[in-house]
């Protein structure tokens, strides 16, 4: 059945869908419990589950983008909701690492990738001067989802004593919420009865092949990767970083995950509005410079307050990527093939997912193992873990500083003109 939509109905449905998708950011809470239940798994093993989830949905966005360009977003997002829900529910029945990889990383990840086309649909409904705000609101709810899901996950883990119930209940939430909201997702009509300018560029834009010949695509993908690495290092290890750097634990460490979700939700809105007013290039430059500052301070954050301030700045900037990049894709490459084009651009984020969390976990594993072999005390082991995480953070800090230079030297704010590229 075709349900009639307008831009505000589509936006409201998108907020519901992205709220569910954003629950992946409670991973650091799930990771702590998984380590307790499976002490034989290394931190890198556990981090890889999350990395492959993000990588899967980043890769799947290309497939889902092409599908939505051909058959429309409603069926694609409905399929995404089914995969998200079934994958997470089945993950609750798995007690092996490979079981979680197949059900959570692959199946749920693919579902998120299919549901992701909701964002490109929302952008098409809004004029150029409102795209940053619209995409910022949607990705903002994605980032802020931990405000709702982190306490739920902590409660379920404490109540049941296992992570399995959390996976199952979240799976049911996915299945119901996403599939129902998907019925309100559709593209704007080709010839809307609206004033000129309400749906700009609806029938124009680069083909994927044209975009791949444009150097701006590779600059944006590289910037996406650098920013994504920085944010994912912090978000995927938030509870562990709070324990290592600030010396907190238990409910206070869990609260850090929830508090960071505020920045994760606000960042896309703040930078989306900034990009509408100051331009995509200037907004990205400010983003990477600010992220570098937060990463520089983070290893020295020995108190809870300082940790929250530094980590929140990093997460705010990370979330800002999702307020800027959808609009930048539409500006530079048009909206006609945006489903595929943004999916290809999102591959930069997929690289970040593969590199960031795994790099931090491996460096932490190496530092901890070396300390244990040396007969270190628990306090010294914690210090070694902090040193391992710090190395990853310094690498990310350097990448963001480099990204600032790249942004101001190589990026422009020119609108798309595919004919000029032929």
How would residue 221 be classed by pLDDT, with cut points 50, 70 and 90?
A: very high
Backbone angles phi and psi of 3, in degrees to 5: -100, 125
Cα separation, 23 vs 147, whole angstroms = 9
How would residue 381 be classed by pLDDT, with cut points 50, 70 and 90?
A: confident
Comparing C-alpha atoms, which of 66, 397, 101 is closest to residue 231?
Answer: 397
Look at residue 64 in the predicted model and tell me its pLDDT.
87
Whether residue 2 is predicted with pLDDT greater than 60 in this model: the reply is no
Mean pLDDT of the region 368-394: 90
Question: Which range, of 1-10, 166-175, 187-196, 304-313, averages the lowest pLDDT?
Answer: 187-196
pLDDT digits (tens, 9 = 90+) for 52-80: 998 898 889 888 888 887 888 899 999 99
Backbone angles phi and psi of 99, in degrees to 5: -65, -40
Report angle CA 2, 5, 8 to the nearest 5 degrees: 155
In the structure encoding, which two tokens stand for residue 185, read together? 């997702």
Full set of structural domains in the chain with CATH: 7-188+206-411 (1.20.1250.20)
Look at residue 416 in the predicted model and tell me its pLDDT.
45
Q: Are 331 and 301 in contact (CB under 8 A)?
A: no
DSSP character for 299?
Answer: G
How would residue 1 be classed by pLDDT, with cut points 50, 70 and 90?
A: very low
pLDDT digits (tens, 9 = 90+) for 291-332: 999 999 999 998 999 999 999 999 999 999 988 888 888 888
Mean pLDDT of the region 116-138: 79
Q: Is 209 exposed, middle or buried (0-12, 13-18, 19+ CB in 10 A)?
A: exposed
Question: Which range, of 9-13, 19-23, 44-48, 346-350, averages the lowest pLDDT?
Answer: 346-350
Look at residue 38 in the predicted model and tell me its pLDDT.
92
For the chain, percent of residues with pLDDT exceeding 90:
41
Cα separation, 400 vs 87, whole angstroms = 34
In the structure encoding, which two tokens stand for residue 66, read together? 């092409």
Q: Is 200 exposed, middle or buried (0-12, 13-18, 19+ CB in 10 A)?
A: middle
């Amino acid at each position: 059945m075709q349900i009639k939509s307008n831009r505000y109905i589509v936006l409201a449905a998108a907020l519901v869908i992205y709220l569910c998708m954003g629950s992946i950011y409670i991973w650091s809470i799930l990771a702590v419990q998984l380590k307790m239940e499976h002490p034989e798994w290394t931190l890198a093993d556990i981090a890889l589950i999350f990395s492959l989830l993000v990588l899967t949905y980043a890769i799947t966005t290309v497939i889902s983008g092409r599908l939505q360009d051909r058959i429309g977003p409603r069926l694609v997002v409905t399929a995404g909701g089914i995969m998200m829900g079934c994958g997470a529910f089945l993950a609750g029945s798995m007690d092996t690492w490979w079981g979680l990889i197949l059900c959570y990383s692959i199946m749920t990840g693919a579902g998120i990738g299919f549901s992701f086309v909701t964002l490109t649909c929302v952008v098409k409904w809004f004029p150029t001067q409102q795209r940053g705000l619209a995409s910022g609101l949607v990705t903002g709810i994605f980032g802020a989802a931990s405000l709702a899901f982190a306490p739920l996950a902590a409660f379920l883990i404490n109540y049941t004593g296992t992570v399995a119930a959390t996976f199952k209940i979240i799976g049911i939430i996915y299945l119901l919420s996403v599939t129902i909201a998907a019925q309100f997702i559709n593209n704007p009509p080709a010839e809307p009865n609206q004033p000129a300018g309400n749906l700009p560029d609806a029938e124009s834009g680069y083909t994927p092949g044209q975009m791949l010949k444009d150097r701006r695509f590779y600059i944006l993908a590289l910037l996406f990767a650098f920013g994504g690495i920085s944010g994912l290092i912090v978000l995927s290890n938030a509870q562990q970083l709070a324990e290592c750097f600030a010396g907190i634990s238990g409910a206070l460490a869990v609260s850090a995950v929830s508090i960071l979700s505020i920045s994760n939700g606000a960042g896309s809105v703040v930078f989306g509005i900034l990009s509408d007013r100051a331009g995509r290039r200037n907004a990205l430059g400010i983003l990477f410079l600010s992220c570098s500052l937060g990463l520089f301070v983070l290893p020295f954050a020995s108190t809870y307050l300082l940790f929250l301030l530094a980590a929140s700045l990093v997460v705010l900037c990370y979330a800002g990527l999702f307020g800027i990049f959808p609009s930048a894709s539409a500006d530079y490459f048009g909206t006609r093939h945006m489903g595929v084009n943004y999916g290809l651009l999102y591959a930069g984020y997929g690289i970040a997912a593969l590199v960031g969390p795994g790099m931090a976990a491996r460096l932490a594993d190496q530092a901890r193992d070396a300390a244990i072999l040396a007969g270190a005390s628990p306090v010294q082991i914690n210090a070694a873990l902090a040193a391992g995480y710090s190395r990853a953070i310094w690498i990310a800090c350097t990448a963001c500083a480099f990204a600032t230079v790249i942004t101001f030297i190589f990026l422009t704010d020119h609108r798309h003109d595919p004919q000029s590229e032929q």
